[in-house]
Amino acid sequence: MKIDTAGLAALLKAQIENYSKEIKTDSVGTVVTVGDGIASIYGLDEAMLGELLLFPHGVYGMAMNLNSEDVGAVLLGNDEDIKEGDEIKRTGKVVEVPVGDELLGRVVNALGAPIDGKGPIKAKASRPIERIAPGVMKRKSVDTPLMTGIKAIDAMIPIGRGQRELIIGDRQTGKTAIALDAIINQKNAIGKKIKCVYCAIGQKNSSVASLVEKLRESDCLSYCTVVSASSSEPAPLLYIAPFAAMAMAEEWMEKGEDVLIVFDDLSKHAVAYRALSLLLKRSPGREAYPGDIFYLHSRLLERACRLNEENGSGSITALPIVETQAGDISAYIPTNVISITDGQIFLLTDYFNAGQRPAIDSGFSVSRVGSSAQFKAMKKVAASLKIELASYREMLSFSQFGSDLDSSTKKILSHGAVLMEALKQPQYSPFGLSKQVIALSCVKTGLLDDLDLPKVNPLLDDFYARLRSLRPEIVESIDSTFDLTNENAEAIKEELSAYLQSAKE
């Protein structure tokens, strides 16, 4: 794809005109070498790190290396027309993107220029893409749930508003699907509404287009902004894309709103940054990544947080995605991002291929802060799930050796199998709180343990519909108080056994 240099240049020019007073026209440099999207410039002594530089033919660049002899800059456009000896001007400002509600429902590139053919974005404000994360005193701990609508996640790996939760797994294991379902579920968010920013890094244009189409179909585009730096764009645009998306989210957070941001994915972001760094002749480190790759991702994700009341109580919840190779979570980028985030959702290829979808491995997945934000009703039915699944998996490997199983082992096996089945969920069908709670409390009763597995989910759906018509007060009480009283839990059990009895007859 050819970059729309003219469009980008017009956008950046408009931004720079606001700052024309600051432009240091006396500070002019000369291109020494240019190639591979990188230019070395002599004479820009006072250039700032990350400053926007104006090249001839309306091409912009960003200062990345400030050496004693020269400045290394990456070009945010075509380098074909740039040659040695060209004159470069400083602009006195860093890269900025438009921010605000005008971006809702739009698809933009890494510089905030629209790429959805719906005309210009008349944003009233803009922000630098890099910013120092809010300090400790401005923050508050996570205390409000962000429901993804996916049973397995909301029950076992709950996410709170302001949390950073990594989605990690091999290719084609349903990583994007989880993030997309979480975005779609915000249509029915409990409490304060949530705005969503989806940042696609290094993906095919066609994948991004079908994701946008899905959002439109599900009526969710109105509260979403999609930022896309596709695989055909130069590495510098891939590098700045997540920072640009974060700047857009920050604008809303500072206005007191809750935002969900997805980075799909940071592995490709790291590869783009590695390409840039190697071209800039920075020394390679582990896996040839530059030494500051950890700092790059930590300063990005540290900007996602929950602000306290004095600062408007807004929040940014970040769901970064990382792709692993053959499930190896000990590679460089996965270990980095695991240590930066507040937990991870680990997806397994084996589960995915066996039809266990979403393919979440409850053993490796964890949410370090989300449980303090989990709804009470969910806490009550989900408390023992992880342990039950762990003992199920342990027994499963045992049972392969011998056929003589005692009754308690058999019980663990059949209960675990039903639980695994109940945690399956198709794409694009987020569950509300009461539906999740009732499904899990049905499984918890143990009454379903000797059911044929394919019957479990249809039965749970049917039972929920029946309960809603027979005992609407139970469903309403869960949805309004977010709690499951003992009486209601008992009533659900009674209704379930009556329902199973009537099904038998």
Phi, psi of 145 (to 5 degrees): -70, 150
221: alpha, beta or left? (left if phi > 0; alpha if psi -120 to 50): alpha
Single-letter residue type at 331: A
Residue 171 in contact with ligand ATP, rule: CB under 6 A: yes
Does the annotation list 171 as a binding residue? yes
List of residues 6+ apart from 387 with CB closer than 8 A? none
**Nearest one of 482, 452, 435 to 191, comparing CA atoms:** 482
Is 400 annotated to bind a ligand? Reply is no
The reply to whether 173 sits in an annotated binding site is: yes
Amino acid at 359: A
Distance CA 58, CA 396 (A): 64
169 annotated to a ligand binding site: yes
Residue 151 within binding range of ligand ATP, rule CB under 6 A = no
358 touches, from Mg ion, ligand ATP, none (C-beta below 5 to 8 Å by class):
ligand ATP
79's contact among ligand ATP, Mg ion, none, with CB below 5 to 8 A by partner kind, is none
Q: Which of 163, 176, 277, 434 binds ligand ATP (CB under 6 A)?
A: 176
Q: Which stretch binds ligand ATP (CB under 6 A): 175-183, 311-319, 407-415, 493-501?
A: 175-183
Whole-angstrom distance, CA of residue 257 vs CA of residue 411? 47
Query: Which CB, 27 or 427, lies closer to ligand ATP?
Result: 427
Question: Which of 106, 357, 415, 444 contacts ligand ATP by CB under 6 A?
Answer: 357
Q: State how far the Cα of 258 lies from the Cα of 251, in Å rounded to an integer.
A: 11
Burial of 168 (0-12, 13-18, 19+ CB in 10 A): buried
CB 368 within 8 Å of CB 164: no
Q: Could you tell me how far CA 259 lies from the centroid of its own chain? A: 11
Q: Is residue 468 helix, strand or coil? A: helix
Q: Does residue 361 touch ligand ATP according to CB under 6 A?
A: no
Residue 323's binding partner among Mg ion, ligand ATP, none (Cβ under 5 to 8 angstroms by kind) is: ligand ATP
Cβ proximity to ligand ATP, 327 vs 358, nearer residue: 358
Residues recognised as catalytic: 368
Residues 410-439 that bind ligand ATP (CB under 6 A): 425-427
Is the CB of 54 or the CB of 208 nearer to ligand ATP? 208
Q: Which residue is nearest to Mg ion (CB)?
A: 176
State in angstroms the smallest separation of the CB of 100 from ligand ATP: 30
Q: Is 354 in the site for ligand ATP (CB under 6 A)?
A: no
Q: What 8-state DSSP symbol labels residue 311?
A: G
**Number of residues that this document lists for the chain:** 505
Check whether 317 is labelled as a binding-site residue.
no
98-120 exposure pattern, b = at least 16 Cβ within 10 A, e = fewer: bbbeebbbbbbbbbbbbbeeeee
Asked if residue 174 binds ligand ATP (CB under 6 A), the reply is: yes
Q: How far is the CB of 151 from Mg ion (least distance, A)?
A: 21
Q: Would strands 70-75 and 60-66 be described as parallel, antiparallel, or unpaired?
A: antiparallel
Provide the minimum distance between the beta carbon of 419 and ligand ATP in the complex, in angstroms, as a whole number.
Answer: 17
Name the minimum Å distance from CB 174 to ligand ATP.
Answer: 3
- Alpha-carbon Rg for the chain, nearest whole angstrom, is 26
Q: What mask of x and - would describe binding to ligand ATP in positions 322 to 341, judged by CB under 6 A?
A: -x------------------
- Under the rule (CB under 6 A), what is the footprint of ligand ATP? 169, 171-177, 323, 357-358, 425-427
- Under the rule (CB under 5 A), what is the footprint of Mg ion? 176
Binding-site members for ATP are 169-176
